[in-house]
Amino acid sequence: MIAAAVLNEWYPVAMAAMVGPWPGRATTLLGHDINVFSEGDKIIVRGAGGDLAVTLAYGHVWACPGTPAHDLFPVPEAAQPGRRLVDCGAVRVKCSPLRAVENFLDIAHFPFVHTDVLGAEPHTEVGRYEVQIREDSDEVWATKVHFYQPQAAKSAAGGIVTEYMYRVAASTSAVLYKTCPNNPDEWDVIGIFVQPLTEELCEVWPWMALFDDTTPQADLIQFQQMIFLQDRSILENQIPRLLPLDPGKEIPTQADLTSIAYRRWLKRKGLTYGAQMVAA
């Protein structure tokens, strides 16, 4: 039995540009088979029990298996002139959808997993940063995150200290804002939209809204895929497979503030699909 709170959330189920006519994309959401297909200029998400609520945003098709508790989270930068929107396609990962989001929020692993790209030894320090659960938007935000990066983006020429903001916008979607090497007044925006197939299997749709007029699309996509695939083998080996929401087996450190807030937020909202509820 899946909790109503889980059913009433929005989940990404396809890249909008790649949806074809019936049967379209046959996939799974929260353990149930669905088809994502086009009919005329409409996109339909059909499950055994009927059609699901659908919304199109940020290059992707979003579906809600229950009654939407709220609109899909806003990303105003998606409509900002001058940004390039890049859909990166799905990568399947044998892990809890919540662990995929949590990994995206973590900075401390950069020097060890994304060596010489997003981090490098000996620059392993995560500076102090601020985390809050914002009551107005009901989102988790981490701000003033600083980290030394040898190649922060495809467009970065050399090592810089990058500033990040992280935002948990939905139970299985997060967005980060980072220093834009091409445009110091703006942030590059990178989203990770996670489709929960089951509690231990997900498909991850990275998405970007960047200020970069020069890098070819294929290079941008492959840079993002390279980063994410470096994480994949780590994610598939995390134990326990479900994300523990109660303290017990895992000992957090100062650098894990965002993850702790994410877990508390999930627990408070009852968004426990992919979570381990019993203290280990």
Partner 1 sequence: MKLYDYVLSASCYKIRLMAALMGVKLQTEAVDFHPGRAHRSADFRSLNPAGTLPVLVDGDLVLTESTAMLVYLARPEWLGQSAAEAAQVQQWLAFSARLGASLGMARLHDMLLYPGDIDAFRRAGVECLRELDAHLTEARFAGRTYLVGDTPTIADIACFPNVALAPDGGVGLDDYPSIRLWSRAIRALPGFIEMPGIHRLHELKPAPEAVPPLETLL
Angstrom CA distances, 118 to 151, 154, 173, stand at: 6, 11, 21
Among 80, 132, 137, 233, binds partner 1 (CB under 8 A): 233
Quote the least distance from Cβ 80 to partner 1, whole Å: 24
| Structure tokens belonging to residue 186 | 């703006």
Among 226, 277, 279, 280, binds partner 1 (CB under 8 A): 226
- The CA distance from 35 to 105, in Å, is 30
Number of residues that bind partner 1 (CB under 8 A): 38
| Of residues 192-211, those binding partner 1 (CB under 8 A) | 203
DSSP-derived pairing of the beta strands 243-244 and 25-29: unpaired
Between residues 51 and 236, which has the closer beta carbon with respect to partner 1?
236
Among 109, 123, 241, 267, binds partner 1 (CB under 8 A): 123
Residue 254 sits in the site that holds partner 1 (CB under 8 A): no
Residue 122 sits in the site that holds partner 1 (CB under 8 A): yes
CA 75, distance to chain mean position in Å, is: 13
**Tokens 């390279």 label which residue?**
226
- The CA distance from 130 to 72, in Å, is 25
| Of residues 142-171, those binding partner 1 (CB under 8 A) | 146-148, 161
Between residues 41 and 121, which has the closer beta carbon with respect to partner 1?
121
Residue 253 sits in the site that holds partner 1 (CB under 8 A): no
Angstrom CA distances, 119 to 75, 112, 126, 143, 257, stand at: 27, 7, 11, 19, 19
Q: Annotate each residue in 82-101 with x if it binds partner 1 (CB under 8 A) or - if it does not, as one string.
A: -----xxxxxx-x-------
The string of DSSP letters for 173-202 reads EEEEEEE-TT-TTSEEEEEEEEEEEETTEE
Contact positions vs partner 1 (CB under 8 A): 15, 18, 87-92, 94, 112, 115, 121-125, 127, 146-148, 161, 203, 216-219, 221-223, 225-230, 232-233, 236
